[in-house]
C-alpha cells in the first residue's frame, strides 16, 4: 500500500477559497479523494452521509462550517447577524444527533458571538475563525495525550482489538482509540491489532484496517461476530474503542456492536477501555438511557454493499447507528487529562477538576498558549 493516511489532513480550512477540504470517507479504501464543502447544504450532507465522520472530525467540520457561513452573512447589525448565525448553527446541529462534539463545537462558536457582541461584526468573524482553528489544534493535542495515557495501559507486543474507526480519519491526528497504537508504532511496540469490520457501514474494514495497514501496523481484519473467538484464543490483551457520547455514570454510546465487544471482553477478563476526549463527556445526561440514538436508512442493511438486493422486499429493518455500553462493562475511560475508573461520577469530577487546574499549563507546553 503506497499511501500513508497519517500524511493526510482529515479536515482542513481553505479560508481564501471559502471552503472546507475533507477526505470523502465514503470512497475509501478504493479511492482517496479530497472534496470541498462551501454551502450549508454541502456541509450538512457531508456530516449526515458520513463523508466526514468520527465525533472529533465532525466537531472540527462544524466549527469550520459555521465560521464560513458566518463569514458570508452581510450585515453590520449584531442582532441580525446573530439571528442568522443561530439559524445556520441549528441547521448544522441537526445533521447527527448522537455525537456530542457536533453540538459542543457549535455552541463553543456561539459563545464567541455572545462574548464579543460589543464588537464590530468583522471582528466577531475573525474571532470565530481563530476559535475554529483552535478547536482543531486542541484536538491534535487531545488525541496525543489520550495516546500517551492509553499506552501506559498496555505493553509491547500486546494484541489490541478495536471496533469501528476512532483513528486518524475520525479526528485531526492520531485518533482516539488508535492513538496508543500509533504512538506504540512510533516507539517500536509492535502491537498486533484486530479490527472488527463494523457492520453495516464497515468503517472498521474500509477505514481502520486501511489506515493502520498503510501506516505499517500489524492489523488483522475480522468479522464482527469473530471478536469473542479471538479473545478466547488468547490473542487479545486489551480492547480500545472510541465513543460519541459519555453519560455522567460512565455509560457510553459508540458505533453499533460495541456493547457486544464489551460483553465478550468481560467474559474473558480482558480490559475494555473507552478513549474519550472530555468534550464527549456529557455530565448533563445521567445515564446512557437518555442518549438519543440515531437510526439510519434501511437500505444500508438490505442493499448498500450488494450488487443485487440481499433481503426480501418489504422486510422490516431496525438500523440504529449506535448502541450504549453499560458502565459496569467498562474498565476505564481514557481522557486527555488522565484515566477515569469506576465509580465514574467521582472520577469524572476529578478529571474535570484537573482539566480546569492544569489545562492552561498543558496547553502552553504544547504551544497552544
Residues serving a catalytic function are: 244
Q: Which three cell numbers stand for residue 367?
A: 504551544
Q: For residue 186, count other CB atoms closer than 10 A to its CB.
A: 11
Positions of E strands within 91-165:
159-162
Q: Determine contact, residues 102/93, Cβ cutoff 8 Å.
A: yes
Closest CA to 274 of 188, 149, 183: 149
Q: How far apart are CA 113 and CA 71, in angstroms?
A: 12
DSSP 287-344: SGGGSPPPB--THHHHTTT-SS--S-TT-----BSEEEE-GGG-SEEEETTEEE-SSH
Beta pairing partners, 34: 23
Positions of E strands within the chain:
11-14, 19-23, 34-37, 159-162, 192-196, 218-222, 238-241, 245-247, 252-255, 272-275, 281-282, 322-325, 332-335, 338-340
**DSSP 3-state assignment of 46?**
helix
- Cis peptide bond upstream of 358, omega within 30: no
Closest CA to 211 of 236, 177, 188: 177
Amino acid at each position: 500500500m503506497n499511501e500513508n493516511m497519517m500524511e493526510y489532513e482529515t479536515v482542513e480550512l481553505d479560508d481564501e477559497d471559502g471552503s472546507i477540504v475533507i477526505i470523502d470517507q465514503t470512497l475509501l479504501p478504493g479511492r482517496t479523494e479530497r472534496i470541498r464543502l462551501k454551502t450549508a447544504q454541502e456541509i450538512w450532507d457531508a456530516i449526515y452521509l458520513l463523508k466526514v465522520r468520527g465525533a472529533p472530525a465532525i466537531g472540527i467540520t462544524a466549527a469550520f462550517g459555521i465560521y464560513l457561513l458566518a463569514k458570508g452573512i452581510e450585515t453590520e447589525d449584531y442582532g441580525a447577524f446573530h439571528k442568522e448565525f443561530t439559524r445556520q448553527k441549528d441547521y448544522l446541529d441537526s445533521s447527527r444527533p448522537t455525537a456530542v462534539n457536533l453540538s459542543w463545537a457549535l455552541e463553543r462558536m456561539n459563545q464567541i458571538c455572545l462574548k464579543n457582541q460589543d464588537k464590530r461584526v468583522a471582528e466577531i468573524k475573525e474571532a470565530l475563525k481563530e476559535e475554529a482553528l483552535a478547536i482543531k489544534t486542541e484536538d491534535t493535542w487531545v488525541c496525543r495525550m489520550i495516546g500517551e495515557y492509553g499506552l501506559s495501559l498496555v505493553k509491547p507486543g500486546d494484541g489490541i482489538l478495536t471496533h469501528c474507526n476512532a483513528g486518524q480519519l475520525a479526528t485531526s491526528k492520531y485518533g482516539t482509540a488508535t492513538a496508543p497504537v500509533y504512538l506504540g508504532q512510533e516507539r517500536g511496540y509492535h502491537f498486533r491489532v484486530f479490527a472488527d469490520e463494523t457492520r453495516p457501514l464497515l468503517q472498521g474494514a474500509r477505514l481502520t484496517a486501511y489506515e493502520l495497514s498503510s501506516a505499517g501496523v500489524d492489523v488483522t481484519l475480522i468479522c464482527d461476530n469473530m471478536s469473542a473467538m479471538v479473545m478466547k484464543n488468547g490473542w487479545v490483551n486489551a480492547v480500545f474503542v472510541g465513543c460519541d457520547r459519555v453519560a455522567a455514570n460512565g455509560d457510553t454510546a459508540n458505533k453499533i456492536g460495541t456493547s457486544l465487544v464489551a460483553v465478550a471482553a468481560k467474559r474473558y477478563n480482558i480490559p475494555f477501555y473507552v478513549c474519550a476526549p472530555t468534550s464527549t463527556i456529557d455530565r448533563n445526561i445521567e445515564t446512557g438511557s437518555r442518549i438519543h440514538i440515531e437510526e439510519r436508512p434501511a437500505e444500508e442493511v438490505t442493499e448498500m454493499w450488494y450488487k443485487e438486493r440481499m433481503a426480501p422486499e418489504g422486510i422490516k429493518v431496525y438500523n440504529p447507528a449506535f448502541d450504549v455500553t453499560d458502565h459496569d462493562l467498562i474498565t476505564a475511560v481514557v481522557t486527555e487529562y488522565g484515566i477515569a475508573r469506576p465509580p465514574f461520577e467521582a472520577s469524572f469530577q476529578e478529571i474535570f477538576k484537573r482539566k480546569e487546574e492544569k489545562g492552561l499549563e498543558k496547553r502552553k507546553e504544547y504551544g497552544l498558549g
